[in-house]
Amino acid sequence: MSSSSQPPEPSSPSSSSSSSSSSSSTEAAYFASTPPPANLNHQTALARTFIAHHAAIPKRRVALVTSGGTTVPLERQTVRFIDNFSAGTRGATSAEHLIAAGYAVVFLHRQFSLQPYARHFSHGSTGLLDLVVDEGSAEGVRVKAESLEHVRSVLGTYRGVREREMLLELTFVTVGDYLHSLRALAGLMGPLGPRALLYLAAAVSDFFVPDSRMAEHKIQSSASAPTEDDGNNTSSQPGRRLIVNLDPVPKFLKSLVDTWAPQSLIVSYKLETDASVLVSKSRAALGRYQHHLVIGNLLSTRKWEVVFVEPGGSTRWLRLPAAERGAEGRGTGPWALRGFRRGAGGEIEG
C-alpha cells in the first residue's frame, strides 16, 4: 500500500530564521535549567572510546539506538513520577538486527528496560527460570533439553558481539537524562557523517516539570502533613485530587538534524492512537525536521504493522502476516532496518 503527497511549502527566510532563533533559545534555556544526569561524563567517556574505536575501522558503521520510556519526576527526591508503557522491545530487537547487519551499536536505554539478547529471557511468558532445571546434585542446574538450542544460539551470538566489542549499553531514567545524553552522544556521532545512524525508538515524554517548580520532597497527601514549598507547581486537597502543572518538552529533533549530527541518517518514530492522524502527523514531522524517515505506528497494532513515511511524503505499509505475529523474536522492530536507502547509496539489510 502506498500513497504520495506534495512536500510542505518552504518557509520564508525571515520566518525560518526567526523560528530557528527561538528554537535555539528554548533549547539553551532547557539545558541550562535542567540538571544533567550524574553519570553523564562517565557515559560520554565510554561512548567516546567506543565510537573512536569503530570509526578507525574502514567502512564500519555505527548506530545510536534509543529505547524505552522516559520518566517525568514530580519531586527532586523522587517518589512519584509520570511514566509511559514502553518496555523497550522494539529498540532492543532492532539493536540485535543492526549488529547482525554490521553496525556497532550504542544502546541508550531506560534503566531496567529490555536489553539486546537478554530480552529473550527476561520478558513475556518464558523467563530464565523457566528454561533451567535443578538436577539436585553436584551437577547443579542445566538448561532444559527443549530450550537448549535457543539458549545456545542466543548465548553464542551474544558472546560473539562482546568479543568483537560491537555493543555499548548506556542508561537514562528521566526525560532530562535522556535529552542531555542524546545531545552528548549525537555530538560524538556527528563526525562519522553518513557512517552514523541515529535510530530514535525511545518513547520520549511530551511534558515535564521544570526543575525550578519541582517540589524538593515527597508531595504530601495527609491533612496533618507540614506545608512545604513545592515551587507553586502542585496543589492538593487531602483525599481528593492533585493538580500538576506541566510544560511542553522542547522539540530537539531539528537541532539533531541541523547541528548535532547533520550528515547522519536519522530515523524517528511516531506513535498515535487515532489511525486518521497517523500518516498526516508523520508527514508533518518529516517536513518540519527534514530528516530521513518517520516510522509511524498505532498503539493497538504496533507489534505487527508500521508505516514508513519517506521524503516527498510517500508511504509504505509493512504488515506481519497473522500467522507469524506470535512467533518468537518477530515483530515490527526488524522491519525498520530495511527498505530505505542511505544518502551514500548503501542500504540497511533487515
pLDDT tens for each residue of 190-203:
999 999 999 999 99
Q: Is residue 99 part of a domain?
A: yes
Residue 48 pLDDT more than 60? yes
Give the whole-angstrom CA distance, residue 17 versus residue 23: 10
The pLDDT of residue 343:
37
Q: Is residue 260 part of a domain?
A: yes
What tens digit of pLDDT does each residue of 69-108 get?
A: 999 999 999 999 999 989 999 999 999 999 999 999 999 9
The pLDDT of residue 270:
96
Number of domains in the chain: 1
Q: Is residue 176 part of a domain?
A: yes
- In 10 A of CB 323, how many CB atoms? 7
Q: Is residue 331 part of a domain?
A: no
Q: Is residue 338 part of a domain?
A: no
Q: What length is written for the chain?
A: 350
What tens digit of pLDDT does each residue of 323-343 get?
A: 888 655 555 555 555 544 443
Domain span at 150:
10-220+244-266
Give the whole-angstrom CA distance, residue 347 versus residue 338: 7
pTM: 0.87
Q: Is residue 107 part of a domain?
A: yes
Q: Is residue 26 part of a domain?
A: yes
Q: Is residue 166 part of a domain?
A: yes
What number is the average pLDDT over the span 98-120? 97
Q: Which residue has the cell 532496518?
A: 337
Instruction: Give the domain CATH number at 154.
Output: 3.40.50.10300
Give the whole-angstrom CA distance, residue 285 versus residue 180: 22
The strand order across the sheet containing 2-3 reads 2-3, 315-319, 305-309, 293-298, 265-272, 196-200, 61-67, 103-110, 167-172
